[in-house]
Amino acid sequence: MDNDVIVTGRIDQINRINGKKVEIIDYKTGKTKDKKAAAKDLQLGIYALAAEEILELKPERLVLYSLTSNEAVESTRDSKALKETRERIAEVADLIRAREFTAKPGFGCKFCDYRPICPSHEQLVSIRGAVEAVIGEE
């Protein structure tokens, strides 16, 4: 993308509809999302951009498929939505380069490659260490 921004990822499934027209499916294991959430889903927008710009395909349908409920929610992205996705990626890249981003600790922290250097994790370790030290002295 512009300004040497590189986005990496893996699309779960691409199904050819006709010619270069495709359906992109993103499988989810968490809470089932509705149409409104699918329409705003950044990951689906990024997949649509990748399909168009890298794979030279036309995403006709973008689908969030819930593995827990076996429900599929369809969405699309028009040129305006794809432009907004590009802008959001650029904003996030600028914030990362400026080191202006806040960690949002949660379940995903268990799998994060940056956990050892994350300020939120360091604080959590320090608090736990202090609590363990106090409990151990009693």
The residue extents of the domains of the chain are 2-101, 102-138
Contacts of 45 (CB under 8 A, 6+ apart): 77, 81, 82, 84, 85, 88
Q: How far apart are CA 120 and CA 126, in angstroms?
A: 10
pTM of the model: 0.74
pLDDT at 78 over 90: yes
Q: What is the pLDDT of residues 56-76, one digit of tens each?
A: 999 999 999 999 999 999 999
Q: How far apart are CA 63 and CA 75, in angstroms?
A: 6
Instruction: Write down the residue that tokens 């827990």 correspond to.
Output: 68
The pLDDT assigned to 133 comes to 58
* Strand runs labelled E in the chain: 13-18, 21-28, 58-66, 71-75
